[in-house]
Chains A and B, each alone.
Chain A
Amino acid sequence: MPSLNTIAYYLFHVGELRSIVQWSVWHNPVHERDESKESENLKRCFHFLKLTSRSFASVIQELHPELLVPMTVFYLVLRGLDTIEDDMTIDIGPKEPLLRDFHKHLEDEEWTFDGSGPNEKDRSLLVEFNCVAKEFNKMKKEYQVIIKDIAKKMGNGMADYCKDAAFNKEGVQTVQDYEQYCHYVAGLVGEGCTRMFVEGKLANPVLLQRPELIESMGQFLQQTNIIRDIHEDNVDKRYFWPKEVWSKYVKSLPDLFLPENRELALQCQSEMVLIALRRADECLFYMAGVREQSVFNFVAIPQSMAIATLELCFNNYTMFERNIKITKGQACHLMTQSTQNLQLVCDIFREYARKIHRKNRPQDPHFLDISIACANIEKFIESIFPTQTARTLPKSGEQRPTAVDPETEERRKREEAESRQDMIYIMLAVVTTLVIISGSMIGVAWFFGARFDLAFSAMKDGVKEISGKMGAAAPAASPSEAVHVEL
């Protein structure tokens, strides 16, 4: 049952309510799971997918059949790793080998783990992890290799961070460290997904030769989350904003939350937004390389959500006071737009780039850089979907300002004259129609007894009254004028 607040919100944001209805009524999945053909074990895996993921469960389940199971397994493997990494009840002693060797258990249909803390919400996944291994062993060898490779890299990366005392105590140091961290938790996921898309022939293989595009996809999502979660992470005393950035504004990261540092906090925030925003054009570039609709939806939805979230965070001090997120209505609108084609996703990016540009404040030291980053998104979109308006030159560009020969010039003039004549006829038709319609309406009103004479005389009185008032008001203004003169 929605809260009273929610109801009030949507009463005043009918457009967003419409988006929710639109998404829930009109959204047709590109592909649907065929549950009748699924084994009990696979159903169990989907059960865990829904249990562990808020946002990814539905997009994964709508994926092309080729990738449906591999992507589900990939997600559950990563979720398993994440659950171990996050678990503060496991000592670094046993945790390190668990993370580093996690990829070795993927084929082991016996391996399960029940050492998670009682409060870990995803502990049941690890307790029954062998159902994931069973599906893993049934998939194509190629997908197994990819998932195993990513699990190995990520497990080792996570183990390194868990062991890193300075990181655990003081958080991330440089911007490079920050991007490195995002690489381990998100960039690698992007790499795995892209390799699977290409393996399934659902994305352009050229993407694999542009690792920077893949990296930007993950960085953009992860950095946005890190920016948005600053309040929550501060409560948990986990610091992901790099010291290299915040130290320009405050002595210690928690100082950002002090009321007297409000302006500094906003400046720090805008620098973080800027670092993320510079990735946005490469994300669009990546999405242009996706071939299949369900894969496109899978990659585009999180990206659209990310740019909207980034805009929500930008220049918004509330972010330091409590957790913020985009509304359900906004999310539904973004999902509808992101499940069609690249052009609509570009429209979203342009829309939010402009919103950020409008919220940008000149007193912010990053003002111009943010403006350039927003313009750069628009510039990229312009390169794939050129603007065509009355103010742009025709695409050929060859058309000379002067006519080439008298014959064409003559023909052009004749055509112009014809179109002008057409225009006159159309206008005439429109005016005639209007006269007939309004004439018959007034006629009907008169027939049923409308008193136009009363209306006219009332109008006349009204005009008189207004002019009378204005006449009376004029002298009233003179005393104040006199005051001005005296002063």
Chain B
Amino acid sequence: MRGPKRSLEVLMTGGSGFLGRGIVERLLTQHPEWRISILDLHPPPDNLRKRIAQFIPADISSAQSVNNAFVEYSPDLVVHTAGIVPARKDRYSTDPKQWEKVKAINYGGTRNVLDAAMSSGCRKFLYTSSCTVIIDDLDHDYYNMDESIPVGRATLHYGKSKGMAESYVLAPELASLGLQACALRPATIIGPEDTAVMSLIHDLIRKGETYFIVGDGENFYDWMYIDNAVQAHILAIENLLTTQTAAGQAFFISNQEPVYFWDAFAFIWAQFGHVPKYRIHIPTAIAWFVALILEIMTWFTGNAPTIDRGSVKDGMRTHYSNNAKAMKVLGYMPEVPLTEGIRRACDGYKKHLAAQAAQNGETKKER
């Protein structure tokens, strides 16, 4: 089925990142005959770099930089996971400069990579989109959402930029040029090597903010363990190389275990030995009002508020996806259950914290 003359060339953008690394490692074990290259701003860890065909340093937000990478290089398939996730206060930013930056990487970067890949002759493209293309619309709840919901309501920078990129990738104009593209929309991914999501939740212990629940605490949130996300990507790659039934399609993927939003947090805190003695439910209206006051105050002082209206809305709304399509077309089935996944992620973060503490100790000694 695959090209018989030479081994398959796969380019992985963002291959040094949390998800990208996971996919590269799984591809190396499952398809050792393939040649995997990583395109990223930062080099992958040494042990991974030794095992791949080549590392191409490039900045996807620059067309020039990306085009240089494709000189004399024509992959058979591109997996595009590179992007930027504005976290913490940047998630709810309305700053136009910030938007230009996010758009240049997530939307512009995707265009640069896809255009360059197509000019090099590549016609297979797997894009790591995000469930935020739908849910970064804080004004709505999304119960059991499926792919029939049109993209375009997202207002936050991340979901908006990812949605624009996804629409570009799946556009019929490019398909008519022979492109077979597919987009995966994972829920929030956690895993042992992730520090972004874990640090966000873990920091609340130190800040003493684990005692409050905004809203009734009965809203759902959808998570995804890294191995399951990797598995879905492998299945999508294999689909594009064989039956191609996924071409032109977007798929929601998650652990399919939506859970009460605040319970997942409480479970993570408990893994670090922290169980809040009491939990106060803050009515939505009050929380929103307090957030507004804090925002106004911090607007004068110039500091970042701990809570703002965006995070209040984020903490009380419901969203989870229905993966029936991914299960049917890709054969996706979550392998690692959520409880086990979060436990592993917490163990990973404990190691990270220990390493950090050791490092701090050493630097202190040196001083």
Q: Count how many chain B residues have C-beta atoms less than 8 Å from C-beta atoms of the other chain.
A: 31
Residues of A within 8 A of B326 (CB): none
With A354-B218, A372-B257, A382-B143 in contact, is A400–B152 under 8 Å at CB? yes
- The interface residues of chain B lying within 8 Å CB-to-CB of A393 are 140, 142, 149
A357 to B213, CA, bound (A): 14
Q: How far is the CA of A369 from the CA of B257 in the complex (A)?
A: 10
Cα distance A400–B151 in the bound complex, in angstroms: 9
Q: List the B residue with the shortest CB-CB distance to A388.
A: B143
How long is the Cα–Cα vector from A338 to B143 in the complex, in angstroms?
26
Are A367 and B320 touching (Cβ within 8 A)?
Answer: no
Residue of B nearest to A376 (CB): B257
Evaluate contact between B258 and A379: CB separation under 8 angstroms: yes
Question: Which of B144, B152, B153, B342 is within 8 Å of A368, CB to CB?
Answer: B342
Q: Cβ of A401 < 8 Å from any Cβ of B? A: yes
Whether the pair A375, B149 counts as a contact (CB closer than 8 A) is no
Extra inter-chain contacts (8) besides given A362-B263, A371-B260, A386-B144, CB under 8 Å: A361-B275, A363-B270, A368-B342, A372-B338, A374-B260, A375-B257, A375-B259, A397-B150
One digit per residue, 1 when the CB lies within 8 angstroms of any chain A CB and 0 when it does not, for chain B 116-146 equals: 0000000000000000000000011111100
Asked whether, in the complex, the Cβ of A392 is within 8 Å of the Cβ of B143, the reply is yes
16 A-B residue pairs with Cβ-Cβ distance under 8 Å, sorted by A, are: A354-B218, A362-B269, A362-B270, A362-B276, A367-B263, A367-B270, A368-B264, A368-B342, A372-B259, A372-B339, A375-B259, A376-B257, A379-B258, A379-B320, A383-B144, A389-B141
A397-B152 in contact (CB<8A): no
Say what secondary structure dominates the interface of chain B.
mixed
> 5 tightest A-B contacts by CB?
A371-B263, A362-B270, A368-B267, A362-B266, A391-B141
Knowing A375-B220, A397-B150 are in contact, say whether A360-B144 is a contact too (CB < 8 A). no
CA of A397 to CA of B143, assembled, Å: 13
Residues in B lying within 8 Å of A, measured CB to CB: 139-144, 148-150, 152-153, 217-218, 220, 257-260, 263-264, 266-267, 269-270, 275-276, 317, 320, 338-339, 342
A371 touches B144 (CB 8 A): no
Q: Is A387 positioned at the interface, with any CB of B under 8 Å from its CB?
A: yes
Closest B-chain residue to A383, C-beta based? B144
Question: Whole-angstrom distance between the alpha carbons of A391 and B220 in the complex?
Answer: 14
Docked Cα-Cα span, A368 to B259, in Å, equals: 8
Residue interface mask A389-412, B partner, CB < 8 A = 1: 101110001101100000000000
Chain A residue nearest to B152 (CB atoms) is A401
Query: With A and B bound together, what is the CA distance between A375 and B144 in angstroms?
Result: 12
CB nearest neighbor in B for A350: B218
Given contacts A362-B267, A368-B267, whether A375 and B339 have CB atoms under 8 Å apart is: no
Q: In the complex, what residue of chain B is closest to A360 when comparing beta carbons?
A: B263
A349 to chain B, nearest CB (A): 14
- Enumerate chain B residues within 8 angstroms of A376, measured Cβ to Cβ: 257
Contact indicator A368/B338 (Cβ below 8 Å): yes
Q: Which A residues lie within 8 Å of B217 (CB)?
A: 358
